[in-house]
């Protein structure tokens, strides 16, 4: 195989347009127009408007949860949750997650305590949590990764045994279920993201779910500067309100969830059969769930087996206009400010380091079709068989 059949070395790229990672589902224009006409007729932009209230109700029904409290985005949702739960001192969370999980703690004056992860599932290593709990730890933040779960039932037992609170960053796992319970019902609260890259989108947005009435009242009062519904005393408030424009898209996106989930699952299965035949690419299955949203296609690259490093494979794909990416990189313990403030973690999270160096994310969602999956996988197979040539050409 010749190196010059790759765009990295001058060939025409496989795709003439940049292929994003996903999800990027858009509702139909007609339904959007109808919904926005309502906003213009009512002349009502924000502050617990009718669309936001309707979205909260529909989310509650869909998830079977007592309270779904919509917010501007998940990052502020996590901050408001930490404040409403009156956390103090330290919070344990995995180091292998998006930076916002830890930044929500930094914004609320809490200290993140990084836990390593399981190499197979990528979820927090539950058996390592107890050793991290001291008298300053007030909570565990579970992160449900890759359309899977981090075993909320086991985490719940552990949190109870140590008398610490438990809540979740569930940005990856909207619509997923553990046995018959929807994610959103576990711990004291769970936070979802409705960012454009998530399976349900409100352009930006998110919601905090809880089955605890008192906590819900606190959450609503903190979210809306001047309070909302039942007034309770809270020390800090914020503007984390969702606007009617966000809720309009959110409602349509929630309606489309079954169709978009099916599309994701179909694409995931296509990837699965083809990736399983490529040496050195190990697809991560959504673990710990009975139903997944298949929001992500993530592989770990075994450099020796595949022939290329993860980073060189990303170069190859980028040149073909496939926006594969390192996710998560470099790991929270190696990100600012934690790499400076908490340098003692640097050699304590070996599994996180392994995955940060080997994980690759492929496109899935609205821009992807089964043909596109096939074309991406063809590049991968070709890159595997031409790996020696690519390496030598690249080093030149």
Ligand X SMILES: *Cc1c(COP(=O)(O)O)cnc(C)c1O
Q: Applying CB under 6 A, which residues contact ligand X? A: 73-75, 97-98, 100-101, 143, 169, 171-172, 193, 195, 206
Q: How far is the CB of 100 from ligand X (least distance, A)?
A: 4
CB of 394 to ligand X, least distance (A): 31
Is the Cβ of residue 49 or residue 142 nearer to ligand X in the bound state?
Answer: 142
Least separation, in Å, of the C-beta of 74 and ligand X?
3
User: Which of 198/218 has CB closer to ligand X?
Assistant: 198
Cα gap 384→17, rounded to integer Å: 24
Distance CA(23)–CA(365), nearest Å, equals 4
Cβ distance to ligand X smaller for residue 168 or 268: 168
Rank residues 217 and 254 by Cβ distance to ligand X and give the closer one: 254
Residues near 314 by Cβ (< 8 Å), separated by ≥ 6? 324, 325, 326, 360
Nearer CB in complex with ligand X: 123/351: 123
Q: Judged by CB, which is closer to ligand X: 27, or 205?
A: 205
Give me the least distance between CB of 207 and ligand X, in Å please: 10
Contact by Cβ (8 Å): 389, 2: yes
Minimum distance from residue 379 beta carbon to ligand X (Å): 26
Which stretch of DSSP H or E encloses residue 372? helix 370-385
DSSP 79-108: HHHHHHTT--SEEEEESSS-HHHHHHHHHT
CB of 234 to ligand X, least distance (A): 21
> Residue 189 CB: number of other CB atoms within 10 A?
29
| β-sheet with 359-362: strand ranges across | 281-283, 297-301, 359-362
In sign, the C-alpha dihedral spanning 346, 347, 349, 354 is positive
């Amino acid at each position: 195989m010749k190196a010059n059949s790759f765009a990295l070395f001058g060939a025409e790229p496989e795709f003439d347009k940049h292929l994003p990672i996903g999800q990027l589902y858009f509702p139909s224009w007609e339904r959007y127009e109808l919904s926005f006409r309502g906003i213009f007729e009512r002349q009502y932009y924000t502050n617990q408007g009718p669309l936001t209230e309707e979205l909260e109700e529909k989310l509650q029904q869909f998830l079977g949860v007592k309270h779904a409290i919509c917010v501007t985005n998940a990052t502020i949702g996590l901050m408001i949750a930490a404040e409403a739960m009156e956390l103090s001192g330290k919070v344990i969370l995995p180091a292998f997650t998006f930076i916002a999980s830890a930044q929500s703690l930094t914004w609320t004056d809490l200290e993140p305590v990084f836990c390593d992860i399981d190499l197979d599932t990528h979820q927090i290593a539950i058996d390592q949590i107890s050793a991290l709990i001291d008298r300053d730890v007030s909570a565990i933040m579970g992160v449900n990764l890759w359309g899977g779960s981090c075993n909320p039932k086991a985490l719940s037992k552990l949190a109870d045994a140590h008398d610490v609170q438990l809540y979740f960053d569930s940005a990856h796992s909207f619509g997923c279920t553990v046995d018959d319970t929807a994610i959103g019902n576990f711990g004291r609260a769970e936070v979802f993201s409705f960012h454009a890259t998530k399976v349900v989108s409100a352009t930006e947005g998110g919601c905090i779910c809880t089955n605890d009435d008192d906590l819900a009242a606190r959450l609503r009062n903190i979210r809306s500067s001047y309070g909302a519904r039942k007034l309770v005393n809270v020390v800090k408030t914020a503007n984390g309100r969702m606007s009617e424009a966000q809720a309009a898209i959110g409602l349509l996106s929630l309606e489309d969830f079954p169709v978009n989930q099916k599309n994701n699952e179909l694409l995931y299965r296509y990837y699965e059969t083809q990736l399983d035949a490529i040496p050195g690419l190990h697809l991560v299955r959504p673990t710990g769930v009975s139903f997944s949203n298949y929001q992500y296609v993530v592989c770990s690259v075994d450099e020796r087996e595949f022939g290329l490093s993860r980073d060189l494979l990303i170069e190859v794909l980028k040149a073909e206009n496939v926006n594969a990416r390192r996710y998560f990189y470099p790991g929270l313990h190696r990100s600012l400010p934690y790499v400076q403030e908490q340098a003692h973690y640097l050699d304590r999270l070996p599994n996180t380091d392994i995955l940060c160096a080997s994980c690759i994310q492929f496109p899935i969602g609205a821009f992807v079709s089964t043909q596109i999956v096939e074309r991406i996988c063809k590049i991968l197979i070709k890159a595997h068989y031409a790996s020696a040539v690519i390496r030598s050409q690249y080093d030149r």
